[in-house]
Amino acid sequence: MDERARVGERVRDFCDELWRQGDPWDFEHSAYEKARCARLIGIVEDRRYERVFEIACGAGYFTRLLAPLADHMLAMDISPTAIERARALARDLSHVDFRTGNVMDYEWQAEGSWDLVIFNDAICYLGWVYPFFDVAWLAAQLFAATRCNGRLLMANTMHEGNDKLLLPYMIRTYRDLFLNVGYRLEGEEIFHGTKNGVDYEILMSLFTKIQDVVLP
């Protein structure tokens, strides 16, 4: 097993252990998470999408909110436990394919192009375990896999605290990767909320692919 595969295995085991202990982010009950997800739906609900790819779907709370806007969805998470729970909670969503996988393995590329890519509160964790080049390459490959006039919605929590993964300048650096590979910024806002007594800001960025960009 090469080093890249070992990293992926460690990430899978770490995330799966979190989900085996329950819902680590309390999506199903947190008023903060419900409000955050509702606002994200509000950003993209102005149209219907033929094909949607959701990265790091967890147990599918946001997936279930978004599903009425999609003809077909691929919802992926690295945790087998999360995907098992997502399938159990969404048995009536036959057009949603819940699948275990690591987005950094690029198996999703075989699926073709997407009208909407969802990438919420996940890129900071990728940046924690993968080199910056790998994260930038992922941004470029997602751009290539987005149809012309398709969208990518990315939301990331920011906080000036002890969690260095959430520092605002880090989150904005990741956001800029998607601009640099060719996406246009259609709209952006900051959502404010409080969870467990801590104030957070969430940078919500909606990107559009206007045309193909050939990177050097």
* CA distances to 69, 143, 215 from 96, in Å: 11, 22, 32
Q: Name the 3-class secondary structure at 92.
A: coil
Is residue 148 in a domain?
yes
Supply the CATH number for residue 36's domain. 3.40.50.150
CA distance 118 to 150: 11
Within a domain: 216: no
In a domain, 213, yes or no: no
SS3 132: helix
Alpha-carbon span 100 to 16, nearest angstrom: 11
Euclidean distance between the first and final Cα of the chain, in Å?
31
Report CA-CA distances (Å) from 90 to 60, 111, 137.
8, 22, 32
SS3 category, 99: strand
Contact 147, 114 (CB under 8 A): yes
Establish if 214 belongs to a structural domain: no
Quick check: is 57 in a domain? yes
Domain-embedded: residue 138? yes
Distance CA 163, CA 152 (A): 26
Exposure letters 86-124 (e unless 16+ CB within 10 A, then b) = bbebbeebeebebbbbbbbeeebeeeeebbbbbbbbbbb
Question: Do the domain assignments include residue 18?
Answer: yes
12 found inside a domain: yes
Which domain range does residue 23 map to? 3-208
Q: What is the pLDDT along the chain (216 residues), one digit of tens a residue?
A: 567 667 778 778 778 888 888 888 888 899 999 999 999 999 999 999 999 999 999 999 999 999 999 999 999 999 999 999 999 999 999 999 999 999 999 999 999 899 999 999 999 989 988 999 999 999 999 999 999 999 999 999 998 777 788 899 999 999 999 999 999 999 999 999 999 888 999 999 999 999 755 555
How many domains in the chain? 1
